[in-house]
Amino acid sequence: MDKNISFTLKVWRQRGPKEKGAFATYEMKDIPGDTSFLEMLDILNESLVNKGEEPIVFDHDCREGICGMCSLYVNGHPHGPATGATTCQLYMRRFKDGDTITVEPWRSAAFPVIRDLMVDRTAFDKIQQAGGYVSINTGGMPDANALPIGKDIAEEAMDAAACIGCGACVAACKNGSAMLFVSAKVSQFALLPQGKPEAAKRAKSMIAKMDELGFGNCTNTRACEAECPKCISISNIARLNREFIKAKLKD
């Protein structure tokens, strides 16, 4: 059984995108080690509400490591110190008794703070919308093997599709680049025959939208890959560059 720990929690508090923010300090006592990080924040919020204070605003949904909404910067790491995990999969047993834990929102010009630890990530939605649609023949029901796809290619496409669009790559990048996210979304279609008809338009449109929304450029420091909760490979960035160059050559 995990032992209880006590620690100091420093949390970024900010009332809105145009307001000046600052850290607030809270002393947390006897938190069980098997408590998840978000459950710990729930405990803190309950105590704040009981004292008549405003609870901390943070994003969450599935709490199963699927949606990526639990986008917190914990002790200098997007999603916290656990490798290949989201914040909701982080447990207090990762920390030591007496630690100071610092919690911040994503830091990116393209992800403005809404309040406290919640940021506006609609920029990612706009990039995906710029990618458009996938053409498909909706005639008679095709056989399951009508479009044979090699196992290696299928697995590579599925690895790219594992991206949950949380924004950890942007938060980790010193330039605030969204290249890992965009490359994953482009790769999952570029590798498959269903994605070929719109391939050129997709690569150009998504990169153009990324630049328009204020994301930075990629300088290949690999911080995005190191901090990605789904371990998306930067080899996808190389594929995105190839897709973009092929599209420009067709022009």
End-to-end CA distance of the chain: 63
Two structure tokens written together for 42: 């729930």
| pLDDT tens readout for residues 194-205 | 888 899 999 999
Specify the pLDDT at position 136.
66
Residue 93: its pLDDT value, please?
95
Taking the CA atoms of 98, 99, 102 and 103 in sequence, report the sign of the dihedral they define: negative
Tokens of 108: 């990116």
> For residue 145, what pLDDT is reported?
63
Q: Which domains does the chain have, with CATH numbers?
A: 4-104 (3.10.20.30), 121-250 (1.10.1060.10)
Q: Hunting for tokens 């008794």 — which residue is that?
A: 97
Q: What pTM does this model have?
A: 0.91
Residue 104: phi and psi, rounded to 5, are: -135, 165
**Residue 31: Cβ within 10 Å count:** 20
Give the residues of the chain that fall short of pLDDT 70. Answer: 1, 136-138, 141-145
Give the rounded distance of the alpha carbon of 28 from its chain centre: 27
Q: H helices of 34-172, where?
A: 37-50, 122-130, 151-161, 168-172
Predicted pLDDT at 216 = 94
Strands 113-115 and 22-32 turn out to be unpaired
